[in-house]
Amino acid sequence: MFAEYFSLILEFVKAFAVGGLICAIAQVVINFTDLTAGKILVTFMLIGVVLQGLGLYQPLVDFAGAGATVPISGFGYLLANGAIRGAERGFFGAVTGALSSASAGVSAAVIFSFLMAMLFRSKSKKS
């Protein structure tokens, strides 16, 4: 029984450490470069795609679970993973595999964004 709790806590610690490290790297990039937030997001997503394409991101996901899949680099991993699986069916499979693997997350983001926009009033950000 204690071993189960220890194992669960260890999983949380690994996820927190890896996810925290990814976020810390992003914060350093924000603080010490003039890159915009959009460029940083795209860069991290492309890093996830490239690392998965090289077979380096999957071991990180196996080790850290949500700590590696929740940050934006995990979205790149998801796209690349879907494309790699779909490529077994040809070029069209590679394109549709990437889109279908990410469709649930993108759909949820769009639906929840719409619901929040309907529930709350947006305000301009004051300088």
Q: What is the reported pLDDT for 39?
A: 94
Yes or no: say if 78 and 71 are a contact pair by the CB < 8 Å rule.
no
Taking alpha carbons only, the member of 72, 83, 73, 79 closest to residue 102 is 79
Per-residue pLDDT band for 42 (boundaries 50, 70, 90) equals very high
* pTM assigned to the model: 0.78
Give pLDDT tens digits for 75-124.
Answer: 999 999 999 999 889 888 888 888 888 888 888 888 999 999 999 987 77
Give the CA dihedral 51, 52, 56, 61, nearest 10 degrees. Answer: 120
Taking alpha carbons only, the member of 106, 107, 109, 102 closest to residue 81 is 102
Please report, for the chain, the start and end positions of each structural domain, with discontinuous segments joined by +.
Answer: 2-119
- Phi, psi torsion values for 5, nearest 5 degrees: -65, -40
